[in-house]
Amino acid sequence: MEPRVSLITLGVEDLRRSLSFYRDGLGWPTDGIVGEEFENGAVVFFELRKGLKLALWPRTSLAAVAHVSATGTASFELAHNVRSKAEVDEVIALARAAGANVTSPPADQAWGGYSAHFQDPDGHLWEIAWNPDPRFVID
């Protein structure tokens, strides 16, 4: 597994309020809320550096997709984007073998990608994802 954090997701209480804070208050550029057509899909992305993004996602959506409680671990998620669906499966197998709690197994997602979630031994939430969107393609 190649070590890489490509997306930091903050679980937020009010997506529009958080969007306003980062976009209007801090001046961070964004396309605004995307994915509203999908259940638990509404999210905001900010480009931090080439290859690293910050996402704002409703805490309840994050919890629903990761199959964890909407409190605690659903407030923060690290994402490791990979190059293929097969690599999602490989990383989840490594994590499981290392003692991770796989909270959502690898599966096709409504937004077009393929992902899974696990918690490390301290309960930190990770998403392993393959995303076909060119903005998320790994070099």
Residue 73 confidence (pLDDT): 64
| Residue 103 domain-assigned (yes or no) | yes
DSSP sequence for 57-83: EEHHHHHHHHTS-SSGGGGEEEEEE-S
Q: How far apart are CA 120 and CA 23, in angstroms?
A: 32
Cα-atom radius of gyration of the chain, to the nearest Å? 14
| Residue 106 domain-assigned (yes or no) | yes
| Residue 75 domain-assigned (yes or no) | yes
**Please, are residues 121 and 81 in contact by the beta-carbon 8 Å criterion?**
no
Q: How far apart are CA 27 and CA 94, in angstroms?
A: 39
β-sheet bridge partners, residue 30:
none
More confident residue, 11 or 115: 115
Residue 48 confidence (pLDDT): 85
Instruction: Indicate the number of domains in the chain.
Output: 1
Label residue 139 by pLDDT band (50, 70, 90): low
| Residue 1 domain-assigned (yes or no) | no
Q: What is the pLDDT of residues 11-63, one digit of tens each?
A: 888 899 889 888 988 788 999 999 999 999 999 999 887 778 989 999 899 89
Using alpha carbons only, give the angle 5, 43, 51 rounded to the nearest 5 degrees.
30
Tell me the residue type at 70.
A
Residue 74 confidence (pLDDT): 66
Q: What is the pLDDT of residues 66-108, one digit of tens each?
A: 898 877 666 788 888 899 999 999 999 999 998 899 999 999 9
| Residue 108 domain-assigned (yes or no) | yes
**Model confidence at 122: pLDDT above 80:** no
Here the CATH number for the domain that contains residue 25 is 3.10.180.10
Look up the domain containing 40 and give its range. Answer: 7-136
More confident residue, 131 or 74: 131
